Amino acid sequence: MTKLLRPTTIVSLLVVLLCLVMAFAPQLIAPGDPLAGTPRDRLLPPSAEHLFGTDSLGRDVFTRVVHGAWLSLAAATAAVLIGGVVGGAIGLLCGAARGRVGTAIDFVVMRFVDVLIAVPGILLALIVVATLGFGPWSIALGVGLGAAGSFARIMRAQVLRVRGEEYVEAAAVLGVRPLGVLGRHILPNAARPVLAMAALELGTAVLSVSAISFLGFGVAPPAPEWGALVSSGRDYIATSWWLTVLPGAVIVGVVLAVTRLARVIGEAR
Amino acid sequence: MARAGTALRLVGPKVLQFAFVVWATYTVTFLLVRVLPGDPVLAALAVQSGDATTVDPEQLAALREAAGLDGSLLEQYLGQLGALLTGDLGTSLATGRPVVDMIAAVVPGSLAVAGLALVIGVGTSVVLAFLASIAPWRWLRDLLVQLPPLGVAVPAFVTGLILISVFSFSLGLLPASGSRSGDSVILPAITLAFPVGAIFFQVFITAIREAESSGYVFTAEAKGLGRVAVFGRHVLRNALLPSVTSIGLLIGYLAGGTAVVETVFSREGIGRLVVSAVLARDVSVIQGVIIVVAVVYALAALLVDLSYPLIDPRLRPGKAAPKATAPSTFSIAPEADALSASTQDPQNGAAK
């Protein structure tokens, strides 16, 4: 429990809570309209009235960042879910099949998983986006499939570790059916490292999703999204630094917080 | 003669592995493109001429044939695989040019950036790791170890834009974009060096910690060697070897990172090629780039594997007792591999 009370952990928890509020109830933090701008107030530097300044159309950047949290975080979460479910299932089946019926299957599948890990995730995500069409959800699918390999590897390693434990052997000897052993005994005990990995991958996914949105394959322009916000500030980098630096800093803060929590989940006992 | 035989036995499986990686990458990308809904040829045509245009069936069939996308799935798979063996990556759906030529034209620009980024990233992390190990104050050592994770958390497009804003617009030292002048390589390379250096640092510092806790370092300290001497003579040399393994990981990051960095700095290169291919929904080009990256990755892995015996005398065949060599080969596998390797023993026991 003491690890949960470390100052960095508390700050990270607060950041994640703030993210949840931004994603589900953005009006609480930024009551304004993210799409409405006052042309007279264009490109104002940060001030008490406009915390993050305003963009070239006079829209409040802080409001846009807060309202953009939903798309950015939802796409990243969807990516981790897709990767976790697909990869986890592959790893679980391979780990369970090894040594019984499918040592050869396990070997072949895991070599493909190695390749999936070796291919840069962003390229894999881009080929998915090019095939499916643009938008945050095809980005999520692409990033998720790119992460599936790592999930499969760690899940398999955990299943193999747990399978050797005495309570699993005991359950098998007592006559619990193999599927029952897998669901009741192996899966819950293998879950923690996979969850830590999922938290770590969430940070990576936020980065990948915002990078691909930055490249222009995410949401259509007026809707706010973190990567797209940085991208639209690019043309004003010489004069209006706040358009890129402040949304960028938000991404950095969220990724650092999530990564920090992933460490805590991974090491807590 | 016997020497040639052992060499073949050592090299043979590694070469097979190389071929497998390339084949599996091709298969994975092929499946990915075909399993997902959507017709790549139609998608590419729609981008070129707007969604509403009617497509002449004959023209469509001709385009499919040119791209190797006609016939049944198996025919397509085998046809493209055959072409791949002869070094042909197909033709671009958007431009009609051979993908190999398009990639070859932009490789030098990307190589310059990626190579410099690798040198800067690895060099900086070795210096940082050195400081983090010999700094006399504990808080400084802790701080230095905490720094690199920051390098992974900052998106490359943000670092790039900040560098442009500081060094190009405020100080006017370096060009913000383009690839004409020689010094235009510097800013993109620094941008790319942040994540690459951060990843290398994490592998490197783990290897250093492992070396520091070993018996020979204890002996060296016990006989009175200074901090710097222990680090330089014992820790560094033993930690560098396992870190070389991470070069494959770094190549992956470099290849993926070029897409963002080259867009930020408006440079010609592999990354820009991929980005414009996505814009044109040109799947063949992206597939080609992924296969080229896999070839480079597999080549690097092959070279690293083959160079182990040169770097580490313990791994030379016939030089030492097999008992001493076997565990050390496994302990230098990358972290996740080591995890799965170490978990195999209890499992094998259970399977009996």
pLDDT at B328: 35
Q: Give the number of other Cβ atoms within 10 Å of residue B328's Cβ.
A: 15
B contacts of A216 (beta carbons < 8 Å): 279
Question: Residues of chain B with pLDDT > 90: what percent?
Answer: 1
- Nearest residue in chain B measured CA to CA from A118: B252
CA–CA dist B40, B36 (Å, integer):
10
User: What percent of the residues of chain A are helix, what percent strand, and what percent coil, each to the nearest 5?
Assistant: 75, 0, 25
> Under 8 Å CB-to-CB from A126, ≥6 apart: which residues?
A142, A212, A217, B259, B274, B275, B278, B286
Q: What is the mean pLDDT of residues B322-345?
A: 36
pLDDT at A119: 83
SS3 content of chain B, % helix, strand, coil (to 5): 80, 0, 20
Higher pLDDT, B62 or A213: A213
pLDDT (0 to 100) of residue B55: 66
In chain B, the residue whose alpha carbon lies closest to the alpha carbon of A200 is B153
Q: What is the pLDDT of residue B325?
A: 37
Mutation test of the interface with chain A: which of B35, B278, B281, choosing the one with the most A Cβ atoms within 10 A? Answer: B278
Measured between beta carbons, which residues in chain B are less than 8 angstroms from residue A12? Answer: none
Tell me the chain B residues in contact with residue A112 when contact means C-beta distances shorter than 8 Å: 24, 27-28
pLDDT in tens, A195-207: 888 888 898 898 8
Q: How far apart are CA B15 and CA B21, in angstroms?
A: 10
Q: Summarize the confidence of residues A191-219 as an average pLDDT.
A: 86
CA A41: distance to chain centroid? Answer: 35
Q: Which phi-psi region, left, alpha or beta, contains residue A219 (left: φ > 0; alpha: ψ -120 to 50)?
A: beta
CB nearest to B158's CB, from A145, A238, A248: A248
Cα dihedral A43, A45, A50, A52 in deg (nearest 10): 100
Label residue A120 left, alpha or beta by phi (over 0 means left) and psi (-120 to 50 means alpha): beta
pLDDT in tens, A220-239: 777 888 888 888 888 887 77
Which chain A residues are closer than 8 Å to B43 by Cβ? 130-131, 133
Nearest by CB to residue A237, choosing from B27, B161, B336, is: B161
CA distance B158 to B171: 18
Lowest mean pLDDT among A117-131, A186-200, B324-338: B324-338
Task: Give the residue from A126, A159, A245 with the most B CB atoms within 10 Å of its CB, the best one to mutate.
Answer: A126
Contact A244 B161 (CB under 8 A): yes
Mean of per-residue pLDDT scores for chain A: 83
Q: Are the beta carbons of B37 and B43 closer than 8 angstroms?
A: no
**B101-279 is classed CATH 2.40.10.220:** no
- For range B105-124, the mean pLDDT: 88
Q: What percent of chain A has pLDDT over 90?
A: 6
pLDDT number for residue A240: 79
Nearest to A127 among B27, B33, B339 (CB): B33
A156 touches chain B (CB under 8 A): yes
Query: Is pLDDT larger for residue B338 or for residue B4?
Result: B4
Q: Within the 10-39 window of chain A, which residues sit less than 8 Å (CB to CB) from chain B?
A: none
Helices and strands in chain A: count of H runs, count of E runs: 11, 0
Q: Which of A36-45, A53-62, A164-173 has the highest mean pLDDT?
A: A164-173
Confidence at A79, pLDDT banded by 50, 70, 90? very high
pLDDT digits (tens, 9 = 90+) for B179-204: 667 677 888 888 888 888 888 888 88
Listed by number, the residues of chain A in 160-219 with a beta carbon closer than 8 Å to a beta carbon of chain B are: 160-161, 163-165, 168-169, 203, 207, 210-211, 214-217
Size of interface A-B (CB pairs under 8 A): 184
Minimum CA–CA partner of A234 in chain B: B161
The answer to whether A211 and B156 have CB atoms below 8 angstroms apart is: yes
Q: Check B260 against A122: CB less than 8 A apart.
A: yes
Cβ separation of B169 and A207 shorter than 8 Å?
A: no
What does pLDDT average to over chain B? 76
Summarize pLDDT for A110-163 with one digit per residue, the tens: 888 888 888 888 888 888 888 888 888 889 998 998 889 889 988 888 888 888
> Could you state, in order of their start, the residue ranges of all structural domains in chain B?
12-85, 101-279, 320-352
Contacts of B278 in chain A (CB under 8 A): 126, 129-130, 215, 217
User: Any CB–CB contact under 8 A between A116 and chain B?
Assistant: yes
Which of B154, B161, B293 is opposite residue A252, by nearest beta carbon? B154
- Identify the pLDDT of residue A233: 81
Helix then strand count (H, E) for chain B reads 16, 0
Give me the interface pTM, i.e. the ipTM. 0.81
- Provide mean pLDDT across the span B288-299: 87
In which band, very low, low, confident or very high, does the pLDDT at A3 lie, cut at 50, 70 and 90? Answer: low
Q: What is the pLDDT of residue B213?
A: 83
Least Cα separation, residue A33 to chain B (angstroms): 26
Q: Return d(Cα B48, Cα B281) in angstroms, integer.
A: 9
pLDDT mean over A63-83:
89
Q: Where are the domains of chain A?
A: 3-27+59-268
Interface subset of A 229-248, CB within 8 angstroms of B:
230-231, 233-234, 237-238, 241, 244-245, 248
Residues whose CB is less than 8 angstroms from the CB of residue A133 and which lie 6 or more positions away in sequence, other chains included: B38, B43, B281
Distance from A230 to chain B by nearest Cα, in Å? 8
Check A131 against B275: CB less than 8 A apart: no
Structure confidence at residue A85 (pLDDT): 92
pLDDT of amino acid A81 = 93
* B88 pLDDT tier (thresholds 50, 70, 90): confident
pLDDT for position A23: 79
Question: Residue A82: which pLDDT band, with cuts at 50, 70 and 90?
Answer: very high
Asked if residues A147 and A205 have their Cβ atoms less than 8 Å apart, the reply is yes
Mean pLDDT of the A56-81 span:
85
Residue of B nearest to A123 (CA): B256
Confidence of residue B76 (pLDDT cuts 50, 70, 90): confident
What's the pLDDT tens digit per position in B125-150? 888 888 887 777 888 877 888 777 78
Confidence band of B336 (pLDDT split at 50, 70, 90): very low
| Mean pLDDT of the region B251-274 | 85
Superfamily of domain A3-27+59-268: MetI-like (1.10.3720.10)
Inter-chain CB proximity A122 and B256 less than 8 Å: yes
Mutate to test the interface with A, among B32, B150, B157, B344 (most CBs of A within 10 A): B157
B8: pLDDT strictly greater than 80? no
Q: What was the pLDDT predicted at A100? A: 66
Q: Decide if B340 and A160 are in contact by the 8 Å CB cutoff.
A: yes
Which among B17, B21, B25, B28 is the top mutation candidate for probing chain A, defined by the most A β-carbons within 10 Å of its own β-carbon? B28
**Is the per-residue pLDDT at B291 higher than 50?**
yes
**Looking at chain A, which residue has its C-alpha nearest residue B155?**
A207
What DSSP state is assigned to residue A73? Answer: H
Mean pLDDT within A66-82: 89
pLDDT at B1 over 80: no
Mean pLDDT, rounded, for B162-171: 80
A130, B281: Cβ pair inside 8 Å?
A: yes
pLDDT at site B321: 44
What does the pLDDT read at residue B342? 35
